[in-house]
Structure 1
């Protein structure tokens, strides 16, 4: 991986981490278009760990939620811990299988297509939300949203889409579901990054150039994600999910057609 590749992939990560389009799926395809190897161990580590840079944008934009402590913040932290537990447990138990899926553009294409179809209708499924602030999210709703998030371990599903839909299914308004999805990304991706670095730290210690690429990727993803979060919240208020559904369907079809025509997207 070159510095140029790292910057491009990080831009894609920052743009897509909080959009319901699957950042992982887009990074896999971007890596292929750049001529990279989707089976390379550092590439898979890079694609997971630069998500930490993107989710740190949430801490900056919503710093009062995370850094100003009061009794309400304690409840907020408890709900985040409970919501992240399903992903921690399932991610640990099936980490090798998840890694294998990260090599498959076919899985990405199918997931993008099916997820896009879901997004075309999701605004009509949850018409009567009752939870209009994150303070009204109880621990049971948080836990259920956490299980929804686990669906996104399949590349192409989108962590953002899965957790937002899960929130709306739990009667959260669209905006509150989106914001809780952002908050939940912080412990989820921090844990995923820490686990990935623990398993693959020798890829960085033995090759200092890899550490440089990882630092560059996180900085770029952080800057781009700040802009993307604001854009997504505005578009969600104006257009809902339908526009992202069409986008996912188009991209998914392009990937599946390319595979059907014999393009080797996994090498």
Structure 2
């Protein structure tokens, strides 16, 4: 059973550095979530301002809401966020739950896909600005999102060790397995991560992140393998989310999920 989608949590806006190499900037296949050059209709643009979140705060301001009219033939919404500093932001199509992530010092448009042919789309935008103001603009576009197939395959493969560590930790924490059983599961997850990290053709950042995760998993105390390296885990989750190929955890622990 699918428990969670690690790329869409709002807490991801706190991971500024993790996002630096994972936003959509063009059509190069080396970038997660490759897109074609956007063609926008300026007359359909909608703008709004709001107050950003503070990293580490348990609560914060409501997101900025943009309602974009989508005439027939439009396939996406270009979202541009202008915010101070180098904080992170997330834009979500509230109907489809598709999210895209970016950073404040890169004000390039990011394409949020549209599913179906709705007459309008609602986009919620949140940003980590330490309580400072930010602005967001959205406009319908005829551009179609093109998923990076290689990245999608990587995200699917990564879901396996991520599920292994999650279930191993949960089973141990629920006293359903022993420390020795947990160590065996951890070793399996490390082996799975090693296989992914050494696979040719994956982006360089993906190999680096999975290698770091493997080392963190092997060094983790009992019951904490899945939280040993949140930074690299979220780097992967956000990149996969931007490619509409998010990481899914399959829960196998009895009575959970």
How does the TM-score come out when normalised to structure 1?
Answer: 0.26
More strand by share: 2
Which of 1 and 2 has greater Rg?
A: 2
How does the TM-score come out when normalised to structure 2?
Answer: 0.27
More helix by share: 1
Greater relative contact order (Cα 8 A, min sep 6): structure 1 or 2? Answer: 1
